[in-house]
Amino acid sequence: MLELETASAAETEAIGGRVALRLAPGDVVLVCGDLGAGKTTFVRGACRALGVGEPVTSPTFTIGHLYAGAVPVAHLDLFRFAGMSAAEWGDVEPYFDGTIAFVEWPEAGAGTLPAPRLTVRLEHVALERRLVRLAACDPALLQGFERADPGVRHGD
Ligand code: ADP
Ligand code: MG
């Protein structure tokens, strides 16, 4: 587990971007944290780094957005779908078919989402400070990540 602290939304976007460049189609990233923690900000940075040119905002009327970046990118937000059964979500398959997929509020879809490559947890520390925790099953994914990081390493 890697723990970083950012001092601005731009720094959180930058971490999202650096994470994204380590991912490949088929990878699923769960993005956890309270409202305003910076989940969409993180995903925005990731999408930018993956070549998504259009505005990146949380999907509201649908469960997800599909973007054509350098690779297909999916951005799901399950917040408004909590309490519904997966059958009511509609067809989510296309969001995970050959994409790099980011899922906000994955807790709402526990047990129905594909296994994640990475789990990101964002925590509000102060007005513009956020704790970003990155946890990957495969340690190789984050190898050397902390070097040259734009944020301050927590605990240093
Ligand atoms: P969420 O998707 O978790 O609800 P958003 O990313 O939509 O959160 O919103 C986070 C808000 O906090 C944005 O207005 C962003 O500009 C602001 N913010 C301030 N500091 C940071 C930071 N260090 N990292 C991320 N967002 C930050
Ligand atoms: Mg959001």
- Listed as ranges, residues in the chain with pLDDT below 70 are 148-156
pLDDT tens readout for residues 101-127: 999 999 998 888 999 999 999 999 999
- Which residue owns the Cα nearest ligand 1 atom 7? 40
Q: Of all atoms in ligand 1, which is nearest to the CA of residue 41?
A: 6
Residue 69, pLDDT score: 97
Nearest to 17 by CA among 96, 64, 70: 70
Average pLDDT of the chain, as a whole number:
92
Give residues (CB < 6 A) around ligand 1: 6, 8-9, 11-12, 33, 35-41, 58, 104, 128-130
Query: Which domains are delineated in the chain?
Result: 2-141 (3.40.50.300)
- Which residue owns the Cα nearest ligand 1 atom 16? 9
- Helix ranges (H only) for 8-147 are 9-20, 39-49, 93-96
Residue 77, pLDDT score: 96
User: What's the CA dihedral at 42, 45, 50, 54 to 10 degrees?
Assistant: 110
Asked if 109 and 86 touch (Cβ cutoff 8 Å), the reply is yes
